[in-house]
Copies of this chain bind each other. A is one copy, B any other.
Amino acid sequence: MNNTRLTLRVDFGSRRSIGPGKIRLLEEIGRGGSISQAGRSLGMSYRRAWLLIDDLNRAFRRAVVRAKSGGSQGGGAVLTEFGSGLVRDYRAIETAAADAAKSRLRRLEAELRNSGRLNPDSPPRKTSIRGGKR
């Protein structure tokens, strides 16, 4: 499915959600063992990264990230088992959704304009909506 990508956001009611940003952050923490490093590698401030993790830790009964044992200063952060499971679940939902959507997405891809986007100054299309009533 070449460049086409499906992204999911799950809202649990109006105040709790998981989406690509939080999941990528969890994955980076799992890789690097540090919230600040994970934030940096995604171009977000420590504060922003911390808030996203805090949000997740408050959303679920079990924490997704905790301070690494070894003292309050030296330890960094680790993904909990529940946090790893959350990432796996999200990625699995994403894969299932992409599979379910595949044939429809292929049809939409076939409808994409190929040349127009390469030239942003291409002339306006015949079917203009400029005349539409304001």
Contacts and interface: CB of A to CB of B under 8 A. Distances in A.
Interface of A: 3-16, 18, 34-36, 46, 50, 53-54, 57-63, 65-68, 71-77, 80, 82, 86, 89, 92-93, 96-97, 99-101, 104-105, 107-109, 111-113, 116-117, 125, 127-134
Contacts of A67: 127-132
Contacts of A92: 104
A10 B100 CA distance: 13
Most-contacted residue by chain B among A36, A112, A127, A129 (CB, 10 A): A129
Q: Is the interface of A mostly helix, strand, loop or mixed?
A: mixed
Copies in the complex: 2
B61 A112 contact: yes
A104 B133 contact: no
Contact of A133 (B6, B57, B76, B89): B76
Given A10-B108, A61-B113, A101-B96, A74 B3 contact: no
Given A93-B105, A104-B89, A82 B111 contact: yes
